[in-house]
Amino acid sequence: MTMLAYRDLRDWLSRVEGMGQLRVIEGADPELEIGVLTEINARRSSSPAFLFDKIKGYEPGFRVLTGLLLTRGRLALTYGFPTDLSEGELADRLRGKPMEWENKSRDFPPQWVEIGPVLQNVQKGEDVNVLKFPTPRWHELDGGRYIGTGCAVITKDPDSGLVNLGTYRIQIVDGKRVTLYISPGKHGRIHYEKYHARGGPCPVAVSVGHDPLAFVAAALEVPTGICEYNYMGAIAGEPYKVIRGPVTGLPIPASAEIVLEGWCHPGEAHEEGPFGEWTGYYASGVRPAPVIQVQCVMHRNDPIMVGVPPNRPPHDYSYMRSVLRSAMLFDALAKAGVPDVRGVWCHEAGGSRLILIVSIKQRYPGHARQAGFVASQCQVGAYLGRYVIVVDEDIDPANTFDVLWALATRSDPAKDIDIIRRAWSGPLDPIIPRGPEVGFNSRAIIDACKPYEWIDKFPAVSESSPALRARMIGKWGKILGWETEPPGSAHAAERLE
């Protein structure tokens, strides 16, 4: 029996509505209005999901959903957890789960089915028209309309047959063509490069509307060699249902809302970009990108496009990625043999990639450096990183104020910063100039732990003990209106906002 409380996107949305976290907006313009409202919503606390309907210039019922996973309640629902978990409880529930799902994934191959809701409307050949869907221009300087932001691009390795789902950006060229932008080294790009090296086209399917679990799996670094469908099955506790694509034969989510299917031919390209990316910049400019010739469009009645546009953080999916990638990095460190990791946070300000913080209980000389180097170069942390900060176990890695305090008081720049050169970056890196150095960057490993060799003699922290604070709150709490202990440095950080 499934551990999830929903069957598809619509069932998930009905539960979100029951939580009081869904807002229907009618009459918005896809030319910037939807994008700007989504951007503002992502920066507010307790942000609802937005379901846009009766979109200007399009048929009623052709809808766009944004703000999918902006709250921990909706993220918890997606994973089958109780929706009233606190931040710490959600982190505890996720700790160890990526490794568990990885180990179980082989037991949950996708289940092929003959029919599914996505087949309610099928157009092929001359009937194909991608322009029928209300695709926003998300940012003011975008080079066009991007139908693929929260998408799942489905490709297959021609050598191994392994299927991959990845979230890559998809820009509309015209009614029958879209561009496919994938950074170097990503699985989808490796797949089409293999097909093109053989002189043939690459089969591609793009789901642009689906349940949130499919988006999460496609957007994260599922370990190499594991199909995202298997990974989703391991999370759900039952096989994920797929249909066979009528044109490419690729496995397609049976309950998807909208799917484009076609071929990416070698040598066929079209100008793509610019696009406002997760780094907070229009970093990749305008360049030729491969084109998908769309030969089939499938969609449900009254279809819902999932829009997950990046912006300057925090943005529409930065919270989701930070929480989940932190859990994945925690497991990766444990799998690599780094002991006594107490916490991990992939900071939203760095798009969950550029700033990684690891908290450890130091056990031996070099332990902090080991944790930092492994975090920077394991699969979860290797792509487009910048800083890894290692702190002691008394520092909450998700508390930026505390991390900066540790950085300021426990690190010596001359001794505690190591540099890795020529690490894996990509075209989205805003600090790398256009030219031959694109694709490489450097990493700083910052040891902000107490020096191990004299850790017992390091000055004591000038803070009252937890037991004494608890006693004072017990005595004075009701008088001062403190039901629990004030959040300390986190509260100070809030005052700075």
CA 135 to each of CA 13, 30, 385, 424: distance values in angstroms, whole numbers, following the listed order: 20, 6, 31, 32
pTM of the model: 0.85
What is the model's pLDDT at position 437? 61
Cα 42 to Cα 198: distance, rounded to the nearest angstrom: 44
Buried b (16+ CB within 10 A) or exposed e, 63-81: bbbbbbbbbbbbbbbbbbb
Contacts of residue 371, defined as CB under 8 A and 6 or more positions apart, other chains included, come to: 333, 338, 341, 358, 360, 390
DSSP code of 350?
G
Q: Tell which wins on pLDDT, 86 or 493.
A: 86
Cα 363 to Cα 359: distance, rounded to the nearest angstrom: 12
Cα 194 to Cα 495: distance, rounded to the nearest angstrom: 53
Q: Pick from 438, 428, 432: which is nearest to 277 by CA?
A: 428
Q: Is the peptide bond before 309 cis (omega within 30 degrees of 0)?
A: no
CB hemisphere CA count around 369 (13 angstroms): 11
CA 307 to each of CA 9, 46, 54, 195: distance values in angstroms, whole numbers, following the listed order: 13, 19, 16, 29
- How confident is the model over 203-241, as pLDDT tens digits? 999 999 999 999 999 998 888 899 999 999 999 999 999
Cα 468 to Cα 471: distance, rounded to the nearest angstrom: 5
| Element at 306 (helix H, strand E) | strand 304-306
What's the residue count for the chain? 497
What is the model's pLDDT at position 438? 73
Whether 274 shows a pLDDT value over 50: the answer reads yes
What is the model's pLDDT at position 484? 65
Q: Classify residue 40 as exposed, middle or buried by CB count within 10 Å of its CB (0-12, 13-18, 19+).
A: exposed
Cα 222 to Cα 164: distance, rounded to the nearest angstrom: 9
Q: Tell which wins on pLDDT, 447 or 95.
A: 447
What is the model's pLDDT at position 8? 96
Are the beta carbons of 191 and 156 closer than 8 angstroms? yes
Token code pair at residue 134: 């209300």
Q: Classify residue 448 as exposed, middle or buried by CB count within 10 Å of its CB (0-12, 13-18, 19+).
A: buried
Q: How far apart are the first and last CA of the chain?
A: 46
What is the model's pLDDT at position 435? 66
- How confident is the model over 24-69, as pLDDT tens digits? 999 999 999 999 999 999 988 789 999 999 999 999 999 999 999 9
Q: What rounded mean pLDDT belongs to the chain?
A: 92
Residue 463: pLDDT band (50, 70, 90) is confident
- How confident is the model over 106-129, as pLDDT tens digits? 999 999 999 999 999 999 999 999
Task: Report all structural domains of the chain as residue ranges with CATH numbers, in order of start.
Answer: 9-306 (2.30.110.10), 336-457 (3.40.1670.10), 466-495 (no CATH)
What is the model's pLDDT at position 265? 97
Q: Pick from 180, 168, 167, 169: which is nearest to 219 by CA?
A: 167
Token code pair at residue 293: 């010739």
